[in-house]
A and B are shown apart, each in its own frame.
Chain A
Amino acid sequence: MATGVAAWLPFARAAAIGWMPVANCPMPIAPRDNSKKQDELIILNVSGRRFQTWRTTLDRYPDTLLGSSEKDFFYNEETKEYFFDRDPDAFRSILNFYRTGKLHYPRHECISAYDEELTFFGIIPEIIGDCCYEEYKDRKRENLERLQDDQEENKDVKIPNMNFRETMWRAFENPHTSTMALVFYYVTGFFIAISVITNVVETVPCGSTSNQKDMPCGERYTVAFFCIDTACVMIFTVEYLLRLFAAPSRYRFMRSVMSIIDVVAILPYYIGLVMTNNEDVSGAFVTLRVFRVFRIFKFSRHSQGLRILGYTLKSCASELGFLLFSLTMAIIIFATVMFYAEKGSSSSKFTSIPASFWYTIVTMTTLGYGDMVPKTIAGKIFGSICSLSGVLVIALPVPVIVSNFSRIYHQNQRADKRRAQKKARLARIRIAKSGSAKAFLHSKHNGLLNELLELTGTEEDEQKLTKCTSLLESQHHHLLHCLEKTTGHEFVDEQIYEQNCLETALQTFPSRSPSIVSHDSPVGTCCGRRGRRNLPLPNASLPPALPVPAHQGPLQELSASTYSAGDPTVTHASRSNLNLKTDDSSRINCKSGRITTAIISLPTPPALTPDGDGLHGPPLRRPPPPAGQPGTPSIQTTTSSANIIKVSAL
């Protein structure tokens, strides 16, 4: 029951008195309405705009947000109103739904925004009134198509590990993907053109030789034309076979229109090869050569406009059918009339009704060759009527076809535009994402610097480093940090990650890589700049037991930290482990004596590591050195500009 008529329920119940005298049995007792609540006004404050309505109005639809107790969550005690932080314009139509029982879709509203509002307020879109439902559905479909298009674009992304066959198929379908494909595309296009031109020129009469009249070039230069033809057909055959090989579904490929065109284009040649000298079928053979013209349809792979035209004709099939039917009807009528009109005149060309068809067609399409003309007055009258009506009959379905073509063409244009825009959009998204990732890593580095500065107590530097990150940002970073700690892994930059992959592939000797922190390499410089200033490098005393990684090159330097000699629990050193408390580190130190830190720094050229951009050496996390303890580990972590510290035990 539509709750709009709930107001009439008292009336219906009252009218039930009309049944009473007729009834034979006693009536049931009426339910008591105990809650005699006075109807009260409710204030709904939507982003500052106040809407007021009766409580009963909202109660009409108890399974929505406003009609149920869910709105109590939004109740503001101080102002005694319900506050919603939503769009007030969209809220209008929602509140009107309660009032009138009909949900309308405002046309200026974005479809996804509107959908979101509906979902928020718990209203299902299916109850949109008939007046607005079509528009809503259309917009929704458009939106869906757009999303689907976007998804399809993603499919174009190169899947790594495509095998040769798939690569080839992709090259055939999208020539823009690789240079080879483009070359192939243009070569085939060129040969199609050559083939078509050859077919045409073959029939042109070349200059006459001494003894014979004009003969077509084809017969004069038979060999040359045959060679060209052979070359073209070979190319086409090769192309067809390659496509057949590369097609993901061969059966489906063979059934597709383009492949049929390909086959029809090259078949005449082969048939001609087979039956060159058979006189009986040479007539048929000549006819077959007509099919060579189908080669021109191969251009449709190269031209999108042609494809659209073909698609339009296919989609306008019904209009074309109607055009044909009406034309046929008109032709028959007028041909009959003309035949009987011209029957009387002598030497009339209108010998039969089918013979009059030609006249009718020529007249209706306003061609007017003049090979058949009516001579009688009646014939002339009807002839003029025929030509006038011809214009009308043909003009009628044409706009429909034209509009179809235009619509499909524009759709295609839009798809292309969207593709171009999409690239820009993706780039923007990528920048934003990497920006936030960098922000996090940067803040991590800042955090470490801060910690270091706390230790060293240099006030001014600390203030320099303390950037004003917003509360939101810092909370977000804290969250990411917690995640890192939880998993024991860290966020790294993409490049670092790829290098790691490379590295793990190339690297054979993990023992090779670690170099001791104190090692006087550029990284060591980087580490050491601060370190040398502030700390003694106790590990300097350790003999460089491990060879220097000589091959680092511009890429990186690795120093690995291993907690050797047997603290099995500390086998993997994340930075968290490195930031050990004093006692732990000293404990380990006592145990083992050798701690090396693994640092993978960035592919910045070594020149940069002594830091040009003001990245101030490595923050050192130094536990307050217990005096006198030998071999206090200096656990150092390096950073370089804006990136990663990845510390791993190798």
Chain B
Amino acid sequence: MLNAIWETEGLQTVGIVVLVFASIKLLHLLGLISFSEDSVEDELELSAVRHRPEGLEQLEAQTRFSRKELQILYRGFKNECPSGVVNEETFKDIYSQFFPQGDASTYAHFLFNAFDTDHNGSVSFEDFVMGLSILLRGTVQEKLNWAFNLYDINKDGYITKEEMLDIMKAIYDMMGKCTYPVLKEETPRQHVEVFFQKMDKNKDGVVTIDEFIDCCQNDENIMRSMHLFENVL
């Protein structure tokens, strides 16, 4: 008889223990309890990347800016990015401030890649100032080169229709919603078609650098607009 009592008791105990563990597991699943020590994600220590640019003389030699202009540029640059480098997030942030109506992040991404010549994920002051030097003080050839580099997303020397479409969409994104006339879905695509018609001489579906430069040099509007921003600084 004692056996029977022990048996029932034992079974009941087991049952209850199982029940309790199941509920604990359920709570753990729900995230109310956690067991492991390191379940809390450790915050990644963002190591402060600090970068000091080369000397003023070297930059003066490499770019076409005067000493004073470099000083002004650097002050503005360092003010916004005290650590000396711009990462993509900050870049997008800064660029988006100029285009409040639309979404400038995609274009800023392409722009970032264009400036980040050594592709290390951040734009240092040298990259910045070299890019600016080309854009503001370079020859037309250099500027067109730069533009081609911007459009060529994968940097393979050819602009495909898809790449151009991406760029075009990014540009139209910056406009935002409220435009006149109203932006339609196919507007970027149409624009790309126009572009390719103009640029793609041999109709092979891609635009090479020579085609591009050739075509641009023959286009008056483009040539004129290349000189538009020369007195920016």
Listed in ascending order, the chain A residues whose CB lies under 8 Å from chain B are: 1-2, 4-27, 29-30, 32-33, 39, 99-100, 337, 340-341, 343-344, 376-378, 382
B111 at interface, CB cutoff 8 A = yes
Contact A22/B168 with A7-B77, A337-B16 known, Cβ cut-off 8 Å:
yes
Contact A344/B5 with A5-B80, A7-B80 known, Cβ cut-off 8 Å:
yes
Some 13 contacts from A to B, beta carbons below 8 A apart, are A1-B97, A1-B98, A2-B97, A5-B80, A5-B94, A7-B79, A11-B132, A22-B191, A23-B225, A29-B228, A30-B228, A30-B229, A340-B15
Q: Which B residues are CB-close (under 8 A) to A18? A: 111, 114, 146-147, 150-151
Q: Which of B34-42, B56-64, B178-186, B216-224 contacts A (4 or more CB under 8 A)?
A: B216-224
Within 8 A of A (CB), among B169-191: 171, 191
- Distance between B4 CB and nearest chain A CB, rounded to angstroms: 10
Within 8 A of A (CB), among B1-23: 5, 8-9, 12-13, 15-16, 19-20
B226 at interface, CB cutoff 8 A = yes
Q: Are A20's CB and B136's CB within 8 A?
A: no
Q: Which A residues are CB-close (under 8 A) to B222? A: 20-21, 23
- Distance between B135 CB and nearest chain A CB, rounded to angstroms: 4
Q: Are A5's CB and B226's CB within 8 A?
A: no
Q: Which B residues are CB-close (under 8 A) to A343? A: 12
| Smallest CB gap from A36: residue in B | B231
- Distance between A474 CB and nearest chain B CB, rounded to angstroms: 54
Q: Are A1's CB and B147's CB within 8 A?
A: no
B144 at interface, CB cutoff 8 A = yes
| Smallest CB gap from A343: residue in B | B12
Instruction: Convert B88-104 into 0s and 1s, putting 1 for each residue whose CB lies closer than 8 angstroms to a CB of A.
Output: 00000011011010000
| Smallest CB gap from B143: residue in A | A17
- Distance between A361 CB and nearest chain B CB, rounded to angstroms: 20
- Distance between B183 CB and nearest chain A CB, rounded to angstroms: 15
Q: Are A26's CB and B135's CB within 8 A?
A: no
| Smallest CB gap from B224: residue in A | A26
- Distance between B208 CB and nearest chain A CB, rounded to angstroms: 14
| Smallest CB gap from A100: residue in B | B79
B72 touches which one: A5, A19, A33, A39 (CB < 8 A)? A39
Q: Which A residues are CB-close (under 8 A) to B167? A: 22
| Smallest CB gap from B148: residue in A | A21
A20 touches which one: B5, B94, B132, B225 (CB < 8 A)? B225
Alpha-carbon distance A17/B12, docked complex (angstroms): 80
| Smallest CB gap from B167: residue in A | A22
B226 touches which one: A20, A337, A340, A377 (CB < 8 A)? A20
B171 touches which one: A10, A13, A19, A100 (CB < 8 A)? A19
Q: Which B residues are CB-close (under 8 A) to A33? A: 231
Instruction: Convert B106-139 into 0s and 1s, putting 1 for each residue whose CB lies closer than 8 angstroms to a CB of A.
Output: 0000010010000000000000100110011000
| Smallest CB gap from B136: residue in A | A14
Taking A12-B95, A14-B132 as known contacts, 19 extra A-B pairs with beta carbons closer than 8 A to each other, sorted by chain A number, are A5-B80, A7-B76, A7-B80, A8-B76, A8-B98, A10-B73, A14-B131, A14-B136, A15-B95, A17-B135, A21-B212, A22-B191, A22-B195, A23-B225, A341-B13, A343-B12, A344-B5, A344-B8, A378-B13
Alpha-carbon distance A18/B225, docked complex (angstroms): 11
Alpha-carbon distance A340/B143, docked complex (angstroms): 84
B194 at interface, CB cutoff 8 A = yes
- Distance between A27 CB and nearest chain B CB, rounded to angstroms: 4
- Distance between B131 CB and nearest chain A CB, rounded to angstroms: 8
Q: Which A residues are CB-close (under 8 A) to B15? A: 340
B30 at interface, CB cutoff 8 A = no
- Distance between B83 CB and nearest chain A CB, rounded to angstroms: 14
Q: Which B residues are CB-close (under 8 A) to A10? A: 73, 132, 136, 232-233
Q: Are B98's CB and A5's CB within 8 A?
A: yes
B75 at interface, CB cutoff 8 A = yes
Q: Which B residues are CB-close (under 8 A) to A22? A: 167-168, 171, 191, 195
A344 touches which one: B12, B97, B228 (CB < 8 A)? B12
Q: Are A26's CB and B132's CB within 8 A?
A: no
Contact A20/B147 with A1-B100, A377-B13 known, Cβ cut-off 8 Å:
yes
- Distance between A497 CB and nearest chain B CB, rounded to angstroms: 65
Instruction: Convert B190-211 into 0s and 1s, putting 1 for each residue whose CB lies closer than 8 angstroms to a CB of A.
Output: 0100110000000000000000
Q: Are A377's CB and B9's CB within 8 A?
A: yes
Q: Which A residues are CB-close (under 8 A) to B225? A: 17, 20, 23, 26-27
Within 8 A of A (CB), among B41-94: 72-73, 75-77, 79-80, 94
Q: Which A residues are CB-close (under 8 A) to B146? A: 17-18
Q: Are A17's CB and B132's CB within 8 A?
A: no
Alpha-carbon distance A343/B12, docked complex (angstroms): 9
Q: Which A residues are CB-close (under 8 A) to B8? A: 344
| Smallest CB gap from B164: residue in A | A22
Alpha-carbon distance A4/B93, docked complex (angstroms): 12
Q: Which B residues are CB-close (under 8 A) to A25? A: 221
- Distance between A285 CB and nearest chain B CB, rounded to angstroms: 50
- Distance between B37 CB and nearest chain A CB, rounded to angstroms: 21
Q: Which B residues are CB-close (under 8 A) to A344? A: 5, 8-9, 12
Alpha-carbon distance A10/B137, docked complex (angstroms): 13
Q: Are B80's CB and A15's CB within 8 A?
A: no
A27 touches which one: B94, B98, B228 (CB < 8 A)? B228
- Distance between A168 CB and nearest chain B CB, rounded to angstroms: 58
